[in-house]
Amino acid sequence: MTEGDEGQRTLAAPQDPGKTQNLGARQAAPACASSTTEPPPYIFALLGLMVLLWSANFIVAKYALREFSPVMAGALRFTLAGAIIGPMYLWTTRKSPPKQWNRRNLTKLLGTGILGVGLNQLFFLMGLEQTSVGHASLVIASTPVMVLLLSAATGHERITSKKVAGFAVAIGGVIFLQVSPAKSSQASILGDIFILLACLAFASFTVFGKTIVSRYDGLTVNTFAYVGSGVILSPITLWYGFQFNFAAVTWAGWTALLYMAVFPSLLCYMIYYHALHFIPASRIAALSYLQPFLATLLAIVLLGEHLTTTLVIGGLLVITGVLLAERS
C-alpha cells in the first residue's frame, strides 16, 4: 500500500497496506519542528497507534474478504472514505478556497489519485484474498525498491553499487518466498503477483505523479483520490450491488469494511500530519519497518497463520535489501 518524494527518500511515512493512507503525505508534508525539539510523549503513543492500525488493516481486510469480493470491498471502501473525507475537505477549505483549478491539473490529480488508491487497493485486495498476510506484508515492504527502480529509469535517481546490492537482496527475498518448498500453504504465487502489481501501481503514482501531487496539500490529494476512485468505480459498485445479498453480510463484515474506510485511510493520515509538527518525516519513516512484523504477528494470533522458516528468511532479506537501497 508506498507515495511521495520516494525518488529522494522512499518512505517519508509508514504505508497503509495496499496504499491507501497519506497519498499526499510525503509530497506535501507540512514543515515540522526542529529535530532537536523533544516531542510530547503522547506523540509517540499516537505513532504507535498509527502503525498498529495500519498493520491491523491486513487482518481486518482478510475478515472483510470473507464476505465481500475484492472488487466490492474496494469499491465500498472508496465510497465510504470519499463520503467522509469529502465533507472534511469542504469544511477545511470553506474559508480558504483552494488554488485555481484548470482541466489539465484536475485530470492529472484525479488520474494519479485513482492510480495510487484505486488500482493499488484493488490489486492489494485481490492478492490478499489469495495469499497470506505474512507474504503480503513483506512483498509490500519491497515497494521502496520499485520506487527507486522507476525513479532511476526516468532519470530521477542515480543508481549506485550499494543500491544495486539492495535491489538484489530485496528481490531475492521476494523470490525466495515463492520458490522455497517450505513456504506457507496459505500463500500463493498468484496472490503475491497481485500484491506486486499493487506495489507497482503505488510506485508509478509516486514517481509519475510527483510533480502534480506536490502542488497540493495532502488533504486535497487524498480527497480527490478517494472521491475520484469512488466515482470511477460507482458503475461497478452499482452493478455488483444489484446482485449482492447485503442482508447476508454479518456485523463483523460491515465493521471490517468501516474500519478499512476510516482508520487506515483517514485517522492514521491525521495522526501522521499532526506528528510531523513535532518529529521529522525521516524519523517517522523508520516505523514503517515494523509493519511486516506486526502484521505477521497479528495474523499468527488472529488468523492462525504459521511462522515458517521461509517467511523469516525471506522477510529478513526483503527488509535488509530495502534498508540498504534506501540508505545508500
pLDDT in tens, 156-165: 778 888 888 8
Q: Considering the domain boundaries, does residue 23 fall inside one?
A: no
Mean pLDDT computed over every residue of the chain? 81
Residue 10 has pLDDT above 90, yes or no: no
Q: Which of 37-41, 53-57, 179-183 has the lowest mean pLDDT?
A: 179-183
* Domain span at 161: 41-326
pLDDT in tens, 14-29: 456 655 444 444 444 4
275 CB-near residues (< 8 Å, 6+ apart): 39, 43, 46, 47, 50, 284
Residue 126 has pLDDT above 60, yes or no: yes
Q: Is residue 213 classed as helix, strand or coil in its secondary structure?
A: helix
Q: Which residue has the higher pLDDT, 127 or 93?
A: 127
Name 19's bridge partners: 16
Q: Which residue has the higher pLDDT, 71 or 212?
A: 71
- The pLDDT assigned to 15 comes to 55
Task: Compute the average pLDDT of residues 173-195.
Answer: 80
> SS3 sequence, 59-114?
HHHHHHCCCCCHHHHHHHHHHHHHHHHHHHHHHHCCCCCCCCCCHHHHHHHHHHHH
CB 11 within 8 A of CB 210: no
User: Distance (Å, rounded) from C-alpha 17 to C-alpha 264?
Assistant: 8
Residue 130 has pLDDT above 90, yes or no: yes
Give this prediction's pTM: 0.81
Q: Considering the domain boundaries, does residue 214 fall inside one?
A: yes
Residue 88 has pLDDT above 70, yes or no: yes
Residue 287 has pLDDT above 60, yes or no: yes
- The pLDDT assigned to 11 comes to 38
Q: Which residue has the higher pLDDT, 276 or 173?
A: 173
What total number of domains does the chain contain?
A: 1
- The pLDDT assigned to 8 comes to 33
Residue 288 has pLDDT above 60, yes or no: yes
Name 16's bridge partners: 19
- The pLDDT assigned to 133 comes to 93
Residue 128 has pLDDT above 50, yes or no: yes
Q: What is the percent of the chain with per-residue pLDDT over 90, rounded to a whole number?
A: 28
Q: Considering the domain boundaries, does residue 248 fall inside one?
A: yes
User: Distance (Å, rounded) from C-alpha 112 to C-alpha 206?
Assistant: 9
Residue 211 has pLDDT above 80, yes or no: no
- The pLDDT assigned to 276 comes to 77
Q: Considering the domain boundaries, does residue 244 fall inside one?
A: yes
Q: Considering the domain boundaries, does residue 57 fall inside one?
A: yes
Task: Compute the average pLDDT of residues 65-80.
Answer: 92
Question: Cell digits for 40?
Answer: 510530547
Q: Which of 101-115, 133-147, 222-236, 250-264 has the lowest mean pLDDT?
A: 101-115
